[in-house]
Structure 1
């Protein structure tokens, strides 16, 4: 049985990083990127733990193994990851309540658990666990990641902006 909760141990954070490595764009084939989606940002333990200390990351766990995660990224981390700085700049342009949202920094489901509702349940749990006064989740998806764009649309995300950063096209999306 899969359970959903906020990460609370170093072992869980280590498992998040291990799952992340298996799904980074640099570690998978072109075909897998197209069919399964991919992760763009690589975190290190320091930033992952610091972010978790502010708002616990949402994890899906089965048999003591993290099989999915959704990273909570409070706006205080806007300048912590170079690749995500433009996202926060775009958020500032289109979101009126700067303190009323949580950025979802990355979501991933283990290949063995895809198609079982884990993605949707990670977001449902994230909505339940948002800190007081925060009622909106904002994230971005790289335009070529069509599987992720479709999955986010299926759980209710709406595109609020599309912008270029470097050579990439990003879709800024929101769930209220």
Structure 2
């Protein structure tokens, strides 16, 4: 039976990192990326732990195994993961409903991943339902950025209610979409 909860143990954080490692774009073929999607950032245990201390990550578990997760990141984590600084800088410049993103109290979706053998079974949507139930009373919306080549993720996020508010090309040539879920 799959349960949806928040991460509370070292073992759960380690399982998140193991699932993340299996789905990093750098270790996948172009065919796997196109068919299954990917994650971009590799977190350290320390980074994941510090983020979790501010707001616990949402996880899907099949018995004791983490089979999906949505990382919870707040603005307070801005300086903790240097690779994400450009994203936060962009949030300072981009507007949503006539206000800069930085003027809102927002929750950043740090990353989403579902284990390959659980995809297509509603785990992604159920994780986001749990994410909303934990955070919608504290934050105005959830925001993240998704690489355009990650079509599986873009479609899944649109399905649960995210809308693209801005697109840009990073210095490395990767095209990104900033998406918001207004709970």
TM-score range, shorter chain: over 0.9
Instruction: Using structure 2 for the length normalisation, give the TM-score.
Output: 0.91
1:111-149 CA-to-partner distances (Å, cap 9, x unmatched) read 010001111111111111117531310000011111111
Counterpart in the other structure of 1:54: 54
1:162 pairs, out of 148, 167, 174, with 167
Counterpart in the other structure of 1:122: 127
Is the 1:127–1:135 Cα contact (8 Å) retained in structure 2?
A: no
1:80-129 CA-to-partner distances (Å, cap 9, x unmatched) read 22332222122222253634210000000000100011111111111111
- Residue aligned with 1:84, SS: helix
Cα distance between partner residues in 1 of 2:83 and 2:155? 22
Q: Does the C-alpha gap of structure 1 residues 46 and 142 become closer, same or farther in structure 2, counting only changes over 3 Å? A: same
Instruction: Structure 2 unaligned segments of length 5 or more: list them.
Output: none
What is the Cα deviation at residue 48 of structure 1? 0.1
- Residue aligned with 2:127, SS: helix
Counterpart in the other structure of 1:68: 68
Instruction: Using structure 1 for the length normalisation, give the TM-score.
Output: 0.95
What is the Cα deviation at residue 151 of structure 1? 0.7
What is the Cα deviation at residue 153 of structure 1? 0.6
Is the 1:87–1:172 Cα contact (8 Å) retained in structure 2?
A: no
For this pair of structures, how many residues does the alignment match?
Answer: 176
Shift >4 Å, 4+ stretches: none
Counterpart in the other structure of 2:84: 84
1:108 pairs, out of 113, 132, 144, with 113
Cα RMSD for the two superposed structures: 1.4
1:1-43 CA-to-partner distances (Å, cap 9, x unmatched) read 1100110000000000000000001111111011000110000
